[in-house]
Amino acid sequence: MGYNWHWRVLLETEPGGTGTYLQYLVVGLGWTLATALAAWVLALAIGSVVGTIRTTRVTWAVRLGNLYVEVFRNIPLIVQMFLWFFVMPELVPKAVGDWIKQMPPPWGSYVPAVLCLATFTSVRIAEQVRAGVNSLPRGQRMAAVAMGLTETQAYRYVILPQTFRILLPPLTSEFMNIIKNSSVALTIGLLELTGRARAMQEFSFRVFEAFATATVIYLLVNLVVVLAMRALERKVRVPGLISAQSMQAGH
Amino acid sequence: MGSFDFNVIERSWVYLFREGMVFTLTLTGLAMTGGIIFGTVLALMRLSSVKALSRLAGAYVNLMRALPLVLVIFWFFFLVPYIGAWVTGADRPISVGAFWSAVITFTMFEAAYYCEIMRAGIQSVARGQVSAAYAMGLNYWQTMGYIVLPQAFRNMIPLLLTQTIVLFQDTSLVYVISATDFLGAAAKVANRDYRLVEMYTFVAVVYFLISSALSMLVRRLQDRIAVFR
Amino acid sequence: MISLKDVSKWYGSFQVLADCSTEVAKGEVVVICGPSGSGKSTLIKCVNGLEPFEKGEIRVDGISVGDAKTDLPKLRSRVGMVFQHFELFPHMTVAQNLRLGQMKVLGREESEANEKSLKLLERVGLLAHKDKFPGNLSGGQQQRVAIARALSMDPIAMLFDEPTSALDPEMINEVLDVMVELAREGMTMMVITHEMGFAHKVAHRVIFMDGGRIVEDAPKDAFFGKPRSERAQVFLSKILHH
């Protein structure tokens, strides 16, 4: 094929002097995971709230929730990333905007990336929470309430524990999605794994070694997350409770 | 609030749409077509009783679904010239250009997602249909072609269309290989005229309008199909 | 104990209950029957406030159910309900299902709740299954647990919404036996059912509903011997000959 493989490049020192290329990429993985985790936690919080609101009967709240979902679902992720990085600092009060703009790298890229990924993913989580809550038979809430439990108690002891088990698979696959989507943050200067693979390719001209290593790392992360999720699912499994087998059409 | 000059949108309107949006829509159309065709092939492979075929297709699909699209875009951007050289027997990598690299990338990538939709669709066609077809004397290909796939497609059209809307939005990622799609064109104008806020807001609004309009059409189509059941 | 006066309810413009009035005295067992869609389930759900109603008055032990100031959870804790689809909490064991209401609503200590739960499970013949999950039990077993769960709250009355309709035929009797025993011990019961054998055995009165109205409300013998309304006669003849 006319390409000379040169895997030893991974052990060569990267131009910035921080260590070998391999270490350089692994640090990128660290940034990927740091971004993904922060965004996922935030997305869970926002998404649960929005998703639960949309199952209530408060019309104005449901409409607001629907609008939120529609907006963040119909704009591409990279465009949202640019909005958070370039546009948001200009729209907030000047003092806040200036403070944001002088944040040193990498925080100047990290914070917008986390916020962007969080809101982007919260929409999908909101949908899954709504579907999960609605998939629970109506009789469960009725039985809880018929016993004399208040609405809050019913949610706490009966509805939410079951919803959590139903939602475990989709929520974990959302975490995988955030890990993949974090790569888009390279466009605003966040040096996560893919961004560093690209940088490595530019400095060392070792195109395929760089991207192949990144690929292997992503696959390993994927494997670990999938195995961990399966173990967790097995641990909380309850006979007779069907978990939502939703078809994941989209990434 | 500062001084925003939204006239920049007016001035670059033609460029944005004639160059940028045309790029985006063409890429989407070609990738959708190629992706569905290749996706159907993958689905048939995965459902085949030949272990080697189903494992190969399965590995491909799982690989594409485990990697970030940005990484895959880079892969094909650098890989396609080499494959081109190998195919044509040239001694140097063939320069392909951002557009065709993107077409190949998105076709190959989205095929994995279309495959899963197709697979579920094919499996959702009742077994009794296949039995009846075989009992009549039809062979595998005839059964697939006349009985199963037509029904599967009707079931899966809303999901295929939704995935295409996702594809439409994903094409914006060609930014990373400096292609001039709608976003890329807007970025060029934004940086040239130093009007980042105006341009990127405009891009967001346009994508929002197109995507939500398409989603609404798909929903209406879904309701129509449901009536026929 | 339970009194309904001119209860009416609408879903939008559709009237599901029309001027329903009846009384259930302490210790009385009232069977409610009628074609599906006649409003029986809705009516019984109004009694413990699971469904709101627009007109009329319902009182349980003197407390008005429709009054906005009524403490509904407190009222519901005193009236037990058994559902057609059992509605046990699948993520809790049988014993935990019985303890939840006692501890969280009645505020009993765990040991006390436990003791009561075990006694009730033994009463319905399911003590051996106390640590199993509902998913591991048959329908008949689940429903008996559901009855025990309702009894764990020491209710003054019990409401049954077609308790055996979702059961396989061979399991219906094990549940009916528990209900018969309950009736014989003097529990006030409102039971929606098509099991006329049960009605014969322990019911004091039978109510026939059709189209949201109480069409017939008579002592058991009168109802079975000579129902006055034609619709009740037709209905009875259909279900007694299946």
pLDDT category at A181 given cuts 50, 70, 90 is: very high
Which range among A125-134, A223-232, A233-242, B19-28 shows the weakest confidence by mean pLDDT?
Answer: A233-242
pLDDT tier, C4 (very low <50, low <70, confident <90, very high otherwise): very high
* Burial class, B30, CB count within 10 angstroms (exposed 0-12 / middle 13-18 / buried 19+): middle
Interface check A226 vs B, CB under 8 A:
no
- Among the partner-chain residues A142, A147, A162, the one whose CB lies closest to the CB of C105 is A147
Q: Could C87 and A157 be called an inter-chain contact, meaning their C-beta atoms sit closer than 8 Å?
A: no
Inter-chain touch C85–A137, beta carbons under 8 Å:
yes
Average pLDDT of the residues of chain C: 90
Confidence at B3, pLDDT banded by 50, 70, 90: low
Residue B71: predicted pLDDT:
95
Q: Count H helices, E strands: chain A?
A: 11, 0
Residue C107 near chain A (CB below 8 Å): no
Q: What is the mean pLDDT of chain B?
A: 87
Contact A74 B116 (CB under 8 A): no
**pLDDT tens digit sequence for B179-196:** 999 999 999 988 888 888
B176's enclosing H/E stretch is none
* Integer Cα distance of B80 and A2 in angstroms: 13
| Average pLDDT for A147-152 | 88
C25-77 pLDDT, tens digit per residue, is 999 999 999 988 889 999 999 998 888 899 999 999 999 998 888 888 888 88
Q: Is B132's pLDDT higher than 80?
A: no
Cβ-nearest to A74 among B75, B120, B211 = B211
**From the CA of A199, how many Å to the nearest CA of chain B?**
12
DSSP string across C42-61? HHHHHHTTSS--SEEEEEET
Q: Which of A13-17, A198-202, C193-197 has the lowest mean pLDDT?
A: A13-17
User: What is residue B229's predicted lDDT score, i.e. its pLDDT?
Assistant: 44
Which of B78, B173, B176 comes nearest A207 by C-beta?
B78
- The helix/strand/coil state of C133 is coil
Average pLDDT over residues C68-92: 87
How far is residue B55 CA from its own chain's centroid?
23
What pLDDT sits at residue B1? 42
- Whether A227 has its CB under 8 Å from any CB of chain B: the answer is no
Residue from the list A83, A180, A208 with its beta carbon closest to the beta carbon of B200: A83
Confidence of residue C149 (pLDDT cuts 50, 70, 90): very high
CA distances from C145 to B209, B211, C127, C130, C138 (A): 55, 52, 10, 9, 11
| Residues in chain A, total | 251
ipTM tops the 0.90 cut: no
Q: Which helix (H) or strand (E) element contains residue C30? A: strand C29-33
Q: What pLDDT shows up at residue C113?
A: 93
| Closest to B171 (Cα-Cα) out of B110, B87, B213, B90 | B110
State what percent of residues in chain C have pLDDT above 90: 60
Q: Is the pLDDT of residue B166 over 70?
A: yes
Residue B199 near residue A79 (C-beta atoms within 8 A): no
Mean pLDDT for A188-208 is 89
State how far the Cα of A204 lies from the Cα of A14, in Å rounded to an integer. Answer: 8
Say yes or no for a CB contact (<8 Å) between C133 and A238: yes
Q: Which residues in chain B touch residue A1, judged by CB atoms under 8 angstroms apart?
A: 82, 85-86
* H or E element that contains C157: strand C157-161
Residue C242 has pLDDT above 70, yes or no: no
CB of C196 within 8 Å of any CB in chain A? no
Interface residue A149 vs chain C (CB under 8 A): yes
